[in-house]
Structure 1
Amino acid sequence: MTNRTPQRMRRDGRAALIFLAPFLIIYCVFLIFPLFKAVFISFHDWELAGGYREWIGFFNYEDLWYDDYFWKALGNTMRFAAMAVPSMTILALLLALGLHGHGRVRAVLRSVFFSSSVFSVTVVTLVWQMVLSPDRGLIAPIFRSMGMEPINFLGSVEWAMPSLVIATLWWGVGLPMALFLAALGQIPDELYEAAELDHASRWSTLRYITLPGIRHTVLLVLVLQIVGQFQIFGQAQLMTKGGPANTTLTLVQYIYNTGFRDWQVGYATTIALALFVVMAGFSMLQLWLGRKGDDQ
């Protein structure tokens, strides 16, 4: 094999840069520039209309540290993610294991479970508001048939957050299920045939063949779910409006209220940067744990 000359290498480098240029331009314009712009705005008392901009340094970050609503919204968001991420991952994996394989019934069921993912958040919230309504909801007759008063799920401090989690699971389980189905299809059939010849139990097959074979997909799903669930907004905004008593107020809701209702764009950007740091931290932790497991 002949070594490439420096001139050939420079020509290849220029060609690679030309092909990468469209992506790099879009990436910088829509991701890198807004990130640095957000950091810049967070050091200002910045109004939404743009009529007043004053440099205030770290004052927004100091306010954030002593803001009880921020810590309440952060706790609610982490609580929601702690409930939704493991539930979504496990449910999607169980559905993928049950629907993996050939057959018309399985194909139809895969389409059914994935179809909810294409709905908008408005449709999802309307459906679940009708299901959970204590007056004419689909669940209300079940309580009345047992002589019980229907629970106001969305108006209850104890049940509002679990209701949002259930609606989110129904809405978002299709994509992780599809990812798990794709990963299961990549496991060689010879491994399962060898396990069958050795009379391995289903649990042993799942533990020693299936789960190790899809561990990278499990990590991918967990990271995607962490990033996605920390950004919950539509369900809480349309179903509970952050109530009752701010028990479902999320960080993105707080950012929205601060920026578009109170016109405090500088402070809203500070909250958004805090959310970015939290999501990045959890994602990096999950990736580190996944790589540590691979090394072992």
Structure 2
Amino acid sequence: MAESYRRSQWSHGLFILPYLLVFLALLVFPLFWGMWLSLHKVDLFGPGRFVGLTNYFRVAGDAVFLQALRNTIVFVLVSVPTLVALGLFLALALNRTTRTTSFFRGLFFSSSVLSVTIVTLIWRFVFIPGDGLLSVLFTEAGIDQINFISTRGWSLFAVGVATVWWCVGLPMMLFLAALQQVPKDLYEAAALDNAGPWRVLTRITLPSIARTIMLVTIIQIVFQFQLFGQAQLMTNGGPNGSSRPLVMYIYEVGFVRWDVGRAAAASQYLFLIILVAAMAQYIVSSRKTEDGA
């Protein structure tokens, strides 16, 4: 009996073996290989030599890296709350079973299936000076045109607008799924007590989907710290690096300057920042949920 039970366990384990192999090959191995590369002076054409923590010190003292870090943090601090709030607002507005709401759900989610190339092309047509949509609207309104793509301070804003438009579909759908799991009897009880919309929202809806809010926030923190394609295709990190994110810095160091060890060290910094930010959000949200309970 015990032998057949052990055989059954091994046979069940075979079902997850393909996933484990892919997980090890595409996630675990690259993670540790990147750590190994970050401790070496290496390019793509030689074996490299061990330099310890030198690459980490070089990256930490690089003004371009610090600028890219600052740009990324500002981008995340603005884009993540915007995506969470806008996704929640759309979910609340479309949490009905009608043809109109179904149409708008598909409309708002449709941008999420587009490639980053298509998204940036669309928004370049909006922000491009002279013939862009915003330039035409500003001209008609008698307002001075703003070169959003090539002006310091506005370039990162343009990237953020394109990113929010592109990514808002996923938070909306996750919130919709959570809202549909809230027990209807809670709303019926609130209606019997003559509770207003704001009280229903703050006392029933938001506490009921608190874990989904935490999940969406962590997902967006991880996603937005990896900003790359939009910034590269819309502004190329300009002007003067004012819209260069961390991933673009890693790309330029590793594949333009061929300093793979230094790029690997920068990627480890990025990994640590994402990990700390996600865990901090998880801990804070968990404590709030427990206090609310």
TM-score (norm 2): 0.96
Tell me, in whole angstroms, the C-alpha distance in 2 between the residues paired with 1:181 and 1:147.
41
What's 2:176 paired with?
Answer: 181
Matched position secondary structure for 2:49: strand
1:26 to 22, 25, 30: 22
What's 2:93 paired with?
Answer: 98
Pair 1:155-2:156 in alignment: no
Tell me, in whole angstroms, the C-alpha distance in 2 between the residues paired with 1:69 and 1:152.
24
Deviation at 1:8, TM superposition (A): 5.6
Pair 1:254-2:249 in alignment: yes
Tell me, in whole angstroms, the C-alpha distance in 2 between the residues paired with 1:229 and 1:8.
49
1:46 to 23, 33, 42: 42
Tell me, in whole angstroms, the C-alpha distance in 2 between the residues paired with 1:183 and 1:148.
43
Tell me, in whole angstroms, the C-alpha distance in 2 between the residues paired with 1:132 and 1:19.
50
Deviation at 1:12, TM superposition (A): 4.4
The residue type equivalent to 1:181 in the other structure is L
Pair 1:137-2:129 in alignment: no
Deviation at 1:222, TM superposition (A): 0.2
Tell me, in whole angstroms, the C-alpha distance in 2 between the residues paired with 1:174 and 1:28.
30
Deviation beyond 3 Å, 4+ runs, structure 1: 5-13
What's 2:281 paired with?
Answer: 286
What's 1:146 paired with?
Answer: 141
Contact 2:39 2:53 in 1 (8 A): yes
Tell me, in whole angstroms, the C-alpha distance in 2 between the residues paired with 1:237 and 1:295.
42
The residue type equivalent to 2:142 in the other structure is G
Identity %: 43
Pair 1:239-2:234 in alignment: yes
- Cα RMSD after superposing both structures: 1.3
Which of 84-93 and 33-42 deviates more?
A: 33-42
1:111 to 1:240, Cα distance in 2 relative to 1, 3 A: same
The residue type equivalent to 1:294 in the other structure is T
Deviation at 1:141, TM superposition (A): 2.0
Matched position secondary structure for 1:51: coil
Pair 1:271-2:261 in alignment: no
1:185 to 1:57, Cα distance in 2 relative to 1, 3 A: same
Deviation at 1:146, TM superposition (A): 2.8
Q: How many residues align?
A: 291
What's 1:110 paired with?
Answer: 105
Tell me, in whole angstroms, the C-alpha distance in 1 between the residues paired with 2:123 and 2:95.
28
Pair 1:122-2:117 in alignment: yes
Q: Deviations over 1:155-202 (max 9, x none)?
A: 111211111111111111001100000001101111111111111000
1:205 to 188, 193, 200: 200
1:13 to 1:117, Cα distance in 2 relative to 1, 3 A: same
Matched position secondary structure for 1:171: helix
Contact 2:72 2:245 in 1 (8 A): yes
1:11 to 1:291, Cα distance in 2 relative to 1, 3 A: farther
Tell me, in whole angstroms, the C-alpha distance in 2 between the residues paired with 1:291 and 1:7.
43
Contact 2:129 2:145 in 1 (8 A): yes
Deviation at 1:267, TM superposition (A): 0.7
What's 1:83 paired with?
Answer: 78
Tell me, in whole angstroms, the C-alpha distance in 2 between the residues paired with 1:209 and 1:159.
39
Deviation at 1:145, TM superposition (A): 2.1
Uncovered stretches (5+) of structure 2, i.e. residues with no partner: none
Matched position secondary structure for 2:41: strand
The residue type equivalent to 1:112 in the other structure is L
Deviation at 1:45, TM superposition (A): 1.1
